[in-house]
Amino acid sequence: MAKLYFKYGAMGSSKSAQALITKFNYEELGMKVWLIKPSTDKRDGVEIVKSRIGLCQKADIILPEANIIELFKEQKDIDVIIADECQFLTPEQIDQLRFLVDEHNMPVLCFGLRTDFLTHLFPGSRRLFEVADSLTEIKTVCACGHKATVNARIADGKVVTKGDQVFLGGNESYVAMCHKCWKRRIKREAEERRDG
């Protein structure tokens, strides 16, 4: 029986690499994978899923208004769907993936962030937590050695605490931190501004 999987982690936890490795594993078994990603993610090119370690594959782009069920009908002999950066899919699109699992017995593996730079769930991630059959955290570590859970947004060397939920960037814009280090750094930087 097919399942809807959500594999989530902080920035730098190798989510995209794991998505591409999973795609390779399915294809090595002779299965056809439909690799998709939301159009919001344009960091590495519009139709590209790319990991920090250099793995790269072409992907179909899902626009915010797109109906994934209708796009699925245009595909030929798909055995599995892998979605990268799924936090940027709409809740309706997550429901469409859920439909494909339930009604077409199609395994769907979603890889993405759980929360934004202020520790708020992304709408796509929230819906996945509500409807996924399997939730798996892909772990990474903070500089202190503890598990990183926060995607700290950095600008001019400082932690950002205001702004739009979506701001695309890589290692230059985000640092994975544990919650304790994130709060300490925000406090320290606020004190430095006040005293400076």
Cα–Cα distance for residue pair 155/183, rounded to 1 Å: 16
Please tell me the predicted confidence (pLDDT) of residue 12: 82
Cα–Cα distance for residue pair 171/81, rounded to 1 Å: 28
Please tell me the predicted confidence (pLDDT) of residue 42: 60
More confident residue, 49 or 160: 160
The per-residue pLDDT for range 83-142, each reduced to its tens digit, is 999 999 999 999 999 999 999 999 999 999 999 888 999 999 999 999 999 999 999 999
The per-residue pLDDT for range 167-195, each reduced to its tens digit, is 565 556 788 889 999 998 888 877 877 77
The per-residue pLDDT for range 53-80, each reduced to its tens digit, is 767 778 889 999 999 999 999 999 999 9
Residue 51 has pLDDT above 80, yes or no: no
Residue 40 has pLDDT above 80, yes or no: no
